[in-house]
């Protein structure tokens, strides 16, 4: 004979096991990220090439307004603060480019042209 109390206990044990497994999985992902993290010395980055940590100043299409983003790690990314992850499509098209380079970002059928006007570290 199974009592309602027994079912509740089994249900609670299952929920606890699932929660612990989820926490362990997240912990493993975090440990993997920490073990693969690298310190990037911005002072040693080439000043004329877009690399991780660079602030890229650019124009979009024929708009004369200059915009900028800093290329940062995934955890630091915050578009509202002008920081984009190095894994983002726009950061990828800027990487290893120089001032004056024009790059194209394809957005479905549309395309946007970017011209790099300045790079700062």
- Which range among 24-33, 37-46, 86-95 has the greatest average pLDDT? 86-95
CB neighbours of residue 76 within 10 Å: 13
The pLDDT of residue 46 is 79
pLDDT at 119 over 60: yes
Mean pLDDT to the nearest integer, 68-82: 95
CA–CA gap between residue 46 and residue 65 (Å, rounded): 26
54 burial (CB, 10 Å; 0-12 / 13-18 / 19+) is: buried
CA–CA gap between residue 54 and residue 50 (Å, rounded): 6
Mean pLDDT to the nearest integer, 27-40: 85
Mean pLDDT of the chain: 89
Residue 6 pLDDT class (50, 70, 90 cuts): low
CA–CA gap between residue 115 and residue 60 (Å, rounded): 7
Q: What percent of the chain has pLDDT over 70?
A: 92
pTM metric for this prediction: 0.69
């Amino acid at each position: 004979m199974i009592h309602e109390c027994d079912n509740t206990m089994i249900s609670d044990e299952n929920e606890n096991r699932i929660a612990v497994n989820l926490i362990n999985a997240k912990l493993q992902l975090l440990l993997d990220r920490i073990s693969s993290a690298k310190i990037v010395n911005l002072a040693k980055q080439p000043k004329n090439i877009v690399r991780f940590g660079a602030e890229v100043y650019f124009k979009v299409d024929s708009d004369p307004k200059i915009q900028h983003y800093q290329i940062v790690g995934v955890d630091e990314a915050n578009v509202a603060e002008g920081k984009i992850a190095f894994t983002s499509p726009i950061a990828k098209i800027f990487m290893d480019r120089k001032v004056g380079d024009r790059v194209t970002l394809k957005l479905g059928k549309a395309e946007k042209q970017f011209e790099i006007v300045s790079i700062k570290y």
